[in-house]
Amino acid sequence: MHTKRLTSDIRKLIKPYLKTGRLVLEHGKRHVKIRNPVSGDWVPLPGTPGDWRALTNLKGDLRRLAERGEGLIYAKTGHLPALA
């Protein structure tokens, strides 16, 4: 998948996760998403970081998504998505 819409800082953060296959990149309607194929949960990737904490927050989100499978759905509902 293309990573054209992502800044070089964000590309550097996601590259190790994509190389190992722990996370996969998908294109959504508005944002590029990074998904955990095991849990099915995902995190949206910003095209550009909004503030000085954005990269730090994204780093934590990616670590939680890769290690525990917890992304946006878990943050909103408190449980992992049911895989079909």
For the stretch 38-58, pLDDT in tens is 999 999 998 788 888 999 999
In a domain, 75, yes or no: no
In a domain, 28, yes or no: yes
Average pLDDT over residues 52-76: 93
Count of domains in the chain? 1
Within the chain, how many helices (H) and strands (E) appear?
A: 3, 3
In a domain, 76, yes or no: no
In a domain, 1, yes or no: no
In a domain, 25, yes or no: yes
Average pLDDT over residues 16-41: 92
Contact at 8 Å (CB) between 14 and 44?
no
In terms of Cα–Cα distance, which of 61, 60, 56 is closest to 44? 61
Q: Which domain holds residue 20?
A: 8-68
